Structure 1
Amino acid sequence: MLNIKSNSCLKAMVSLLFSSLVVFGRGSYAYADFDYSEHHYKTYNNTKEDVSGKEAYLASVYSKNPELKNSVPANNYILELQKIVADANGLKIGTYTKAGDYKRVVQPVILAIGRNQSSNLGNYQIFLGTESLRDTSGYEYGNGKQSRNPYMDAGIIWEIGHEIGHGVLNHGTVRPGGSHGRVTAHEEDADRIAWYTLEKTSDFGWGYAFNVKYAYRTDHCNEEYVKKKTNNKLWISGTSPSDVQYKLNINGKWHNARNLYNILIESNYKLKQSTNESTYKDFTIALGQLGFIYSKEKKIDVAKITIVPENKYTYKKSKLIYRSSNMPNGYKTIAFFNSSANDIAAFWNKGKYTEKEGYSYKDACNDLDELKSKKENTSASWEKALIIAIKYAGIDIFNGHDYFR
């Protein structure tokens, strides 16, 4: 280990470092000019570092990456999501001031307008490319008419979590000309931080990785990880949202989530007439959320499930949650709904659900037939179909009931 004996020596070392930082991000790999290595943090242990050169540093970065010049501070929406990521990882949003802050502090992100790559420029700054966000989450910067939705939130949380991952894992030690395998490994490690970030949020989680483009390239996001955590009940496989599959193990036989959902609604001709991909996506997300709950609880206690008004976000009126001290902040959201909490609760509580009898396939079909008899094909009807799917295909299967026919 180096022994820093003087300020002049320290300044010389810092000056020497201005030649080797990797700019990490999703997509192509670029290199900037500042090296934050674990070795140097240990060497400088809590030594006050001079950050007065921040503007000069950023100016140098801009000169080498002209596409970054068209950048703006993140809006309140993005900053709100960044806070969710920071809180989930035990970080504070603030200014980098001393050695080791990369493990404690993340600076407010900056939006790089029109850029198709997001990057972590060391501890000084994270840039989120607006085209990259569009690709990952569907977020369209500058579109004031775009409606916020949970899929978009989860995608942005994933992207911020990935870039923060590069920071907390201190990936500035890979230098130009180094092993591409090491760079790839760092990208996968940052993906894991993003994956775990979703796990550690109350309203998002495994289910939402279904809709995130880059959530399937690491070994922690494949079937073995989830199967092990859920005692071989849930399997998530694939390399992108276009080919990902969620399957449930019912008495030793694997059933595709889409096929299972189709079976559940096939008796309802009116609903079947118009395929509702959004509701199927919500169903798949709910399976992922229930799988996570099961991985922590080892049994899903229906008494811990409740409907509450949604006052945290703007896109839904109510949500189905699971309350438990094993969940992040005491709860995990299973599904969001446009209908009011009272309406959803009334339908959720309809019919008998006991630990012994559960909610049978016959019960599910009867409830679907009742929806059909009302000759509705509204969003409220689809939400009721989603509730039926969650009660039957989700909770009962995780609790081991053998109702599948």
Structure 2
Amino acid sequence: MDKREFDGGNPQQDAPRRVEKKKIWTRRRLLWLGIVAAVLLAVVAVSLLWQRGTFDGLRRSVIYARAEKDENGCAQLYQYAADREYRFVSLSGSLAAASNSRILLMGEDGQVRYSESILFTNCTVTGNGKWAAVYDVGGKEIYVLDAQGEVYRLTLDGDILAAALNPGGYLAVMVNTSGYKASVEVYDPKGEKVFAFHSGDQFLMTAAVSADSHQMAAVTMGQENGSFVSSLALYRLGREERYAECLLPENAVVYDLGTVGGSYCAVTETGLRFVTTGGKLAGSYSYDGGYLHRCSLGGDGYAALLLGRYKSGSQGRLVTVDSQGRELASLDIDEEVMSLSAAGKYVAVLYQDHLTIYDKDLQEYAVLKDVSAAGTVLMRSDGSAVLTGASAASLYLP
């Protein structure tokens, strides 16, 4: 038979062929192991660079490549007429400033994107980095802005007591309504009312919409056996009946309510209380006899606190706390703090003569000296910070 049609093979050659296949398989395994090891090393490297803010630095260098910076890394981007009443909010590259007479929105190109004359008596601003709400405590009007300008404005039937924006742009407004102790109204990002609740037997102190925009929590206060009792009442948007309630410490005065790491965070005069959207206590943090001087809930999964040993004075502690009430880091300070702001994984502390940006573990990330003209710092999640002064604001780019 023709050898080209059939070859039975040579037994003496088969063994070497099998050895060659085994060598090929071994080389392939080593190649795959090398690829896996390289990927793991890349993941570790990326994680370390991310924690140290290196990627944020690269991102800033690209976004602000055309910004004219001084020798300290500051770019003066916003100028406005001097007004001591101005309150500021940073909005995705824009800066909103509000006083009792005017609302301004300025872009990083130095242009005024929005300007509105108002007549307020107690102007207050609140924001979350993307949206800002400007309202008059005791008044009836509220303006909601984004980085481009006005999104909508509301004229409410009752007097506004407080307002809060969640990360998704949902607005919760506490209103003093005739015939009730208080009312809560919730509006979606387009300004459409999606929820309203009226309390006839308990006072409502403040409210916040959950991070997923599906629920709302309100701090209620009533009297029981001669003592004030506070609780966190939870509602689903679209349903007026509360589905859960979590008691707060007796006689607790709640200063603020927001969201941290998916849970509600009630800032009281004695500590922080973290409550899940299911109404369960997720954790708590006690000030241990200290006094709360400043608090920021803008961090990514943590709260930043400035606690003082006394009601006044510069001696105290800077603390970061996660959403289970666990202390992440603590730093003793003996300097007067002018402003505190947390965003993303950064905490900005404006002292009298310098600015220090920390990470959430309170390790120094950047220091800017000679900031005596600044009165407020607004931390951004990308690691930059806005320093506002009497008539101008600059952007610090570490």
Higher RCO structure (Cα 8 Å, ≥6 apart): 1
TM exceeds 0.5? no
When Rg is computed on C-alpha atoms for both structures, the one with the higher figure is 2
TM bucket, shorter chain: under 0.3
Structure having the higher helix fraction is 1
Could you state the TM-score of these two structures normalised by the residue count of structure 1? 0.26
Structure having the higher strand fraction is 2
